[in-house]
Amino acid sequence: MHGISPQQFAGSVASFLWPYYLALAAMNGIFAYYLWQKSENRPFFSLPTPGFAFRFTPALLWTIVAIVYVFLASLAIGAHLESMPQVPQGFRDFVNASSKATIYSLGTTAVLVVLYLFRSWFVRPMVAWSIWNLMLLFLGLSMPDPNFFSIVAKPDNVPIVALVFLLAFFTWLAAYRAVENDRRMDEGLPPVEKLDDEKVLVWPDLVYTEMICMIALSAVLIFWAIWLQAPLEEPASSVKTPNPSKAPWYFLGLQEMLVYYDPWMAGVVLPSLIIVGLMAIPYIDFNKQGNGYYTIRERRFAYITFQLGFLELWVTLIVLGTLLRGPNWNFFGPYEYWDAHKVEALTNVNMSEYFWQYWLHRSLPTAPPNSTWSTQLGYILLREAPGIILVLGYFIMLPPLMAVTVLRRYYQRMGFIRYMVLANLLLFMAALPIKMVLRWTINLKYLIAIPEYFLNF
Amino acid sequence: MARLGEIIYESQIWKSIFRHPMPVDRRNRIVVMLTNFFLHLHPVSIKKQGIALSYTWCMGGVTFFLFLVETVTGVLLMFYYRPTLEWAYNDILALRDIYSLGIMREIHRWGAHAMVITVWLHMYRVFLTGSYKPPREFNWVIGVILLLLTLLLSFTGYLLPWDQLAVWAITVGSNMARATPILGHEGPGHQFLTLGYPMITSGTDARFALLGARNVGEETLNRFYILHCIAIPLAVSLLLAIHFWRVRKDGGISGPL
Ligand code: HEM
């Protein structure tokens, strides 16, 4: 933190942390109470102690966790950084040293895959609640780190932190219900939603729910507004460029794509395709099942594709772009100081250079000086031929190829036009991770590089 | 007390406003839904799962509520804010330091962020319950446009404080338009639009149309202000009306057949 003294910093951390830990304590306390009220509070184990049986139940576990949080809150309230519990320095150094855009992207992908494959274990309330607690605890323990704090507590970044937790919660909720429904349907039972078929009057049932929602939400907004002041920096100046210059957070996924694609792709073509692709979903998803209830098994392809697009390519890129990209759009670990002088060696190579120079050991084809416009174009096309062939092959050859192989069933059910829309959308979506991997593995800059016509792909 | 209530409920004024008795019995609970303007958005009765929080997450409703909050706080902010280079920043400063209604700016800003999040969550739940499937395909399409407009609302509003954060975020965001294929002056293929002289230059391209100038400046502020306060909210209101109407016409909240 710059411009404020360590005491002030400790003070602002403490003023966040102690209410935070108390809220977590309350959350666990309420959960424990709820479990205790329910009959199915089966003990993890019982100790046959003399006199009475000591039963270690979930309710007891979460009560203990709640007490630990109260203890953490009491440590934080003193506003002494030394006494605040925090993640060990060694761990922070390790995370900083090992985090890179590659590790981050592959890591989040791996996590999502594992969560998906073992979803019936992860959605179990005890497991999910433990993970939930660990996520929140991790945030709390990281806050005393000045670098972490200065990124996460930046007023305009608070919504993203909220988004991550909300998405974790709602993804759990949906998956929990889907797993339950899938199990029921295996047993020949209808989905749980079917059980609530009975009709109720909107007044009072819905109208009151809405009113309570509105009051709760107003309260949240008012507290948020009092607690956190809206940011206002220095007056605008066209000469002082901030470093990094970032778009609003919800567009940072697109800004992150700029690392891999030129603006015409990352800023215009891909966003337009996202909108078009979203609109096309109802017309290309011909699966009649899974309408009006949570399920994964009955619409596995749609589910996986959407989650890949939304959670992986949209949300994790936003998190990366907002929290982990610092000056010069360099990657910084979560506990790393945003050093404007950090240099990252960039030696990216174009496909044409690979082809002509590295493999054929020749110079790039260049038009003779003073040649006509069309000769020049011819030379450009020759120079970029390898990339052009690859890209055209990708977009022209793959759809029919997939139609007779992996997506055969889809092609037969969908007809030509709908199938082509689906296939092309999928290919464009896959183009981003493919380009990422090419960049990480062979430092590929552009498959097609025609700066003469501003056409780099 | 009870008598006072009776006097009020029996008075001509009360009866002229609410066209029905208090909804305490079944008959009047139905009547209230049919005769009250605000409530008639809703059906009279609804399947239990259509109002189960664990099913709908209430995210569409929350988004709508946030839109209303933004409208009200936005109007209050407009009383204090002038979209000119001379005043914009100072008016925001004054909102922070002087006016007691300045808290409206906080509510407006955090409400806007929250709205972006809740639209995403709403879309997420609609997807995960497969609620875009027939007969609701077109309502999903309307929803996608609403999603886009919500983002644009937030984006245009981001510029108005006219501080470093605002101006550079919009600069970075709108720089992309420069690279629009054919229509941006740094976009692929723009050279092909010529009439002997280049048609697409930094003074005629897509970015210029967005900003009203070659750089983010006074014209941009004016443009974004009008988009933010008038054009986009009107479009959103219209689409919301259609969106809600379609929810009803498509058979209410989705559910298993
Ligand atoms: C300004 C933004 C939006 C508002 C205020 C809004 C509001 C609502 C409300 C109040 C409902 C009733 C059910 C519920 O609350 O879940 C609803 C349903 C629906 N919304 Fe939205 N919505 C918005 C954006 C979207 C978006 C972005 C999509 C999808 C891309 C979408 C698609 C739908 C569909 C398909 C339904 C019917 C769902 C069902 O029957 O289960 N809406 N919307």
**pLDDT over 80 at A53, yes or no:** no
How high is the pLDDT of residue A21? 95
pTM for the whole structure: 0.93
Q: Of B171, B156, B159, which is closest to residue B230 (Cα–Cα)?
A: B156
B43 within some domain = no
Comparison of pLDDT for A51 and B236, the residue scoring more: B236
Question: In the predicted model, what is the mean pLDDT of residues A376-405?
Answer: 93
How high is the pLDDT of residue A133? 96
Which of A214, A237, A310 is closest, CB to CB, to B124?
A310
Query: Is B73's C-beta closer than 6 angstroms to any atom of ligand 1?
Result: no
The answer to whether residues B33 and B61 belong to one domain is no
For chain B, helix (H) and strand (E) counts, in that order, are 12, 1
Domain that holds residue A139: 97-230+293-344
A225 within some domain = yes
CB A228 within 8 A of CB B110: yes
Question: In the predicted model, what is the mean pLDDT of residues A393-404?
Answer: 93
CA distances from A400 to A245, A392, A418 (A): 43, 13, 13
The answer to whether residues A180 and A202 belong to one domain is yes
The answer to whether residues A329 and A384 belong to one domain is no
Which of A206, A209, A278 is closest, CB to CB, to B144?
A278
Q: At what angle do helices A270-284 and B137-159 cross, to 10 degrees?
A: 160
Please give the Cα distance from B152 to B157 (Å, whole number).
8
**DSSP-based three-state secondary structure for A340:** coil
Q: Which ligand 1 atom is the nearest neighbour of the CA of B250?
A: 40
The answer to whether residues A425 and A452 belong to one domain is yes
How high is the pLDDT of residue B255? 86
How high is the pLDDT of residue A237? 84
Q: What are phi and psi of B85, to 5 degrees?
A: -60, -35
Residues written for chain B: 257
The answer to whether residues A34 and A104 belong to one domain is no
How high is the pLDDT of residue B40? 83
Point out the least confidently predicted range of A13-17, A45-49, A366-370, B123-127. A45-49
Question: In the predicted model, what is the mean pLDDT of residues B226-234?
Answer: 97
Q: Which ligand 1 atom is the nearest neighbour of the CA of B251?
A: 40
A387 within some domain = yes
pLDDT-derived band at B101 (thresholds 50, 70, 90) equals confident
Strand pairing report for A53-56 and B45-47: unpaired
Peptide bond into A386 cis (omega under 30): no
The answer to whether residues A57 and A189 belong to one domain is no
**pLDDT over 80 at A51, yes or no:** no
CB B120 within 8 A of CB B100: no
Question: In the predicted model, what is the mean pLDDT of residues A32-60?
Answer: 77
How high is the pLDDT of residue B37? 82
Please give the Cα distance from B193 to A174 (Å, whole number).
50
The count of domains in chain B is 2
Question: In the predicted model, what is the mean pLDDT of residues A296-300?
Answer: 94
Give the bridge partners for A77, in sequence order.
none
> CA angle B220-B226-B231, nearest 5°?
130
> CA angle A325-A327-A331, nearest 5°?
35
Comparison of pLDDT for B146 and A451, the residue scoring more: B146
Please give the Cα distance from A44 to A48 (Å, whole number).
13
Q: 10 Å Cβ neighbour count for A181?
A: 24
B42 within some domain = no
**Where is A200: in which H helix or E strand?**
strand A199-201
Domain that holds residue B15: 1-37
Query: Is B122's C-beta closer than 6 angstroms to any atom of ligand 1?
Result: yes
Residue B65: closest CA among chain A residues belongs to which residue?
A214
Which of B51, B107, B121 is closest, CB to CB, to A205?
B51
Q: Which of residues A344, A375, A408 is at a domain's end?
A: A344
The answer to whether residues A106 and A54 belong to one domain is no
**pLDDT over 60 at A82, yes or no:** yes
Write down the mean pLDDT value for chain B: 91
Note which residues in 86-115 of chain B have CB less than 8 A from chain A.
89, 92-93, 96, 103, 105-107, 109-111, 113-114
The answer to whether residues B71 and B18 belong to one domain is no
The answer to whether residues A48 and A115 belong to one domain is no
Point out the least confidently predicted range of A24-28, A85-89, A188-192, B199-203. B199-203
The answer to whether residues A191 and A61 belong to one domain is no
How high is the pLDDT of residue A1? 44
> CA angle A425-A428-A430, nearest 5°?
110
Write down the mean pLDDT value for chain A: 90
Q: Which of residues A85, A114, A131 is at a domain's end?
A: A85
The answer to whether residues B173 and B68 belong to one domain is yes
For chain A, helix (H) and strand (E) counts, in that order, are 21, 5
Query: Is B180's C-beta closer than 6 angstroms to any atom of ligand 1?
Result: no
Q: What is the CATH number of the domain that holds B109?
A: 1.20.810.10
Give the bridge partners for A199, in sequence order.
B47
**pLDDT over 70 at A41, yes or no:** no
The pair of three-digit structure tokens given for residue B225, joined into one six-digit string: 């202000």
The count of domains in chain A is 3
How high is the pLDDT of residue B5? 87
The answer to whether residues B72 and B18 belong to one domain is no
CB B17 within 8 A of CB A186: no
The answer to whether residues B114 and B4 belong to one domain is no
- For chain B, the maximum distance between any two Cα atoms, rounded to a whole number of angstroms, is 86
Q: What is the pLDDT of residues B46-94, one digit of tens each?
A: 888 878 888 999 999 999 999 999 999 999 999 999 999 999 999 999 9
The answer to whether residues A79 and A105 belong to one domain is no
Residues written for chain A: 457
Question: In the predicted model, what is the mean pLDDT of residues A322-342?
Answer: 89
A372 within some domain = yes
Q: What is the pLDDT of residues A97-128, one digit of tens each?
A: 888 888 999 999 999 999 999 999 999 999 99
Percent of chain A with pLDDT over 90: 59
B31 within some domain = yes
The answer to whether residues A407 and A365 belong to one domain is yes
**pLDDT over 60 at B229, yes or no:** yes
**DSSP-based three-state secondary structure for A93:** helix
B51 within some domain = no
**pLDDT over 70 at B164, yes or no:** yes
The answer to whether residues B74 and B9 belong to one domain is no
pLDDT-derived band at A187 (thresholds 50, 70, 90) equals very high
A288 within some domain = no
A384 within some domain = yes
Rg (C-alpha) for chain B, rounded Å, is 24
pLDDT-derived band at B233 (thresholds 50, 70, 90) equals very high
Q: Of B107, B200, B79, B104, which is closest to residue A218 (Cα–Cα)?
A: B107
**Where is A17: in which H helix or E strand?**
helix A6-37
The answer to whether residues A70 and A199 belong to one domain is no
Question: In the predicted model, what is the mean pLDDT of residues A57-72?
Answer: 92
The answer to whether residues A141 and A74 belong to one domain is no
The answer to whether residues B65 and B118 belong to one domain is yes
B222 within some domain = yes
Question: In the predicted model, what is the mean pLDDT of residues A142-171?
Answer: 93
Torsion sign over Cα B196, B202, B204, B206: positive
Give the bridge partners for A56, in sequence order.
A45
ipTM confidence score: 0.93
Q: What is the pLDDT of residues A192-237, one digit of tens each?
A: 888 877 888 888 888 888 999 999 999 999 999 998 888 898 898 8
Note which residues in 217-246 of chain B have CB less than 8 A from chain A.
none
Choose the most confident range, by mean pLDDT, from A12-21, A49-58, A141-150, B105-114.
B105-114
CB B126 within 8 A of CB A290: no
The answer to whether residues B123 and B210 belong to one domain is yes
How high is the pLDDT of residue A40? 62
How high is the pLDDT of residue A371? 84
**pLDDT over 70 at A2, yes or no:** no
Percent of chain A with pLDDT over 70: 97
Q: What are phi and psi of A364, to 5 degrees?
A: -65, 140
CA distances from B199 to A171, A267, A359 (A): 49, 22, 41
Percent of chain B with pLDDT over 70: 100
How high is the pLDDT of residue A137? 95
The CA A223 to ligand 1 mean position distance, Å, reads 27
Chain A partners within 8 Å of B134 (Cβ)? 282, 291
A254 within some domain = no
Q: What is the pLDDT of residues A351-374, one digit of tens each?
A: 998 899 889 888 888 888 888 888
A250 within some domain = no
The pair of three-digit structure tokens given for residue B195, joined into one six-digit string: 């009439």
